[in-house]
């Protein structure tokens, strides 16, 4: 069933939370940033909080590190906050060193959306983004639908612009299938043999390289702490294999401790892998958890970062005739 209640206030408006509960999983979603605040799954002897987050709304505006948001209008980094579209130059606010990140300091992940139940265990969130918001051209009507069926969550994302404008959304859960500690013992597989190397401010150089011999080689399932034995950390864009079986998960993450496994299906061409090496959160997370380095792992399906400045890469420009659509399926369940 779906329940919606007010859990706080933000900028003078009500913050609402929808809870989807199938019995096999319970997911709490905020109208603030479309945040997945909590995702609980039964495991032997306990119920596991499988994503990083806070027990209350109040810490989110100041202390969240994009926990569970839907990032946009354009997720990931845009170099120097600049791009050109149809011969016109646009300047975006920078909020990550010299770059624009996740739609800017007040991107979609920090806006209040309208939320309504959509039948049993489903919710729809809508947001009207006006022309010029965070520097982007055009008005865009965004609509996201979250639907829980047993252990599987379907997220359908839509953006309908009134003129050409870039859109690249990314769901930004931090997963920890142990419910605490770090993710170095988790086993990860990603159907990606190539990635986009970056410069010293995390902007792609334009090169496309093989993952062989890097801390990004998860073509076969392997423990994160073994692949990244030097604790380099990952915050990189992996290009999903174009010839992969679309019916098979693009990525899988598993915990031996709880026996839980995440499976992810996506129609996007890439996944940003972030292992949260620099993470330091000064307030407690779920159940008093301390979130430090490697406390969670992000698998963010999207188009490649800085695509706006790489015309040789697939375009992220949506138009009235070619509106934005993304379909993401996530399942967390016992691996047996």
pLDDT given at position 1? 74
pTM for the whole structure: 0.98
Catalytic-role residue among 17, 100, 102, 172? 172
Identify whether 186 is a catalytic site residue: no
**pLDDT score, position 287:** 96
Instruction: List the CATH number of the domain containing 72.
Output: 2.70.98.10
**Choice among 17, 252, 300, 329 that is catalytic:** 300
pLDDT at 336: 75
172 is catalytic: yes
d(Cα 35, Cα 59) in Å, to the nearest integer?
A: 13
What confidence score (pLDDT) does residue 185 get?
A: 99
Binding site residues for beta-D-galactose, as ranges?
A: 76-77, 172-174, 235
| Residues of the chain below pLDDT 50 | none
Binding site as annotated, residues: 76-77, 172-174, 235
**Residues spanned by the domain of 87:** 2-334
pLDDT of residue 100: 99
Give bridge partners of residue 328 from the DSSP assignment.
155, 266
Q: Which two tokens stand for residue 154?
A: 């379907």
pLDDT in tens, 25-74: 999 999 999 999 999 999 998 999 999 999 999 999 999 999 999 999 99
Number of domains within the chain: 1
């Amino acid at each position: 069933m779906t329940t919606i209640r007010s859990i706080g206030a933000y900028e003078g408006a009500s913050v609402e939370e929808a809870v989807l509960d199938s019995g096999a999983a319970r997911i709490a979603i905020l109208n603030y940033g479309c945040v997945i605040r909590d995702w609980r799954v039964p495991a032997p002897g306990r119920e596991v909080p499988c994503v990083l987050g806070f027990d209350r709304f109040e810490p989110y505006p100041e202390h969240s590190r994009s926990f569970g948001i839907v990032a946009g209008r354009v997720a990931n980094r845009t170099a120097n906050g600049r791009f050109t579209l149809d011969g016109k130059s646009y300047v975006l606010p920078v909020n990550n060193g010299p770059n624009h990140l996740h739609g800017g300091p007040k991107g979609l992940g920090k806006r209040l959306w309208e939320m309504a139940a959509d039948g049993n265990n489903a919710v729809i969130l809508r947001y009207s983004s006006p022309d010029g918001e965070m520097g982007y051209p055009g008005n865009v009507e965004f609509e996201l639908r979250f639907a829980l069926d047993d252990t599987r969550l379907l997220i359908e994302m839509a953006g309908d612009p009134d003129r050409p404008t870039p859109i690249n959304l990314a769901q930004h859960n931090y997963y920890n299938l142990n419910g605490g500690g770090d993710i170095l013992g988790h086993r990860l597989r990603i159907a990606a043999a190539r990635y986009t190397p970056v410069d010293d401010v995390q902007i792609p150089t334009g090169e496309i390289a093989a993952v062989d011999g890097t801390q990004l080689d998860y073509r076969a399932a392997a423990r994160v702490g073994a692949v990244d034995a030097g604790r380099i950390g990952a915050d990189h864009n992996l290009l999903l294999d174009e010839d992969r079986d679309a019916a098979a998960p693009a990525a899988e993450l598993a915990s031996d401790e709880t026996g839980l496994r995440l499976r992810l299906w996506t129609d996007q061409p890439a996944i940003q892998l972030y292992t949260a090496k620099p993470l330091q959160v000064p307030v407690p997370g779920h159940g008093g958890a301390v979130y430090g380095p490697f406390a969670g792992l992000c698998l963010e399906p999207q188009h490649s970062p800085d695509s706006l400045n790489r015309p040789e890469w697939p375009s992220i420009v949506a138009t009235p005739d070619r509106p934005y659509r993304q379909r993401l399926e996530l399942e967390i369940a016992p691996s047996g």
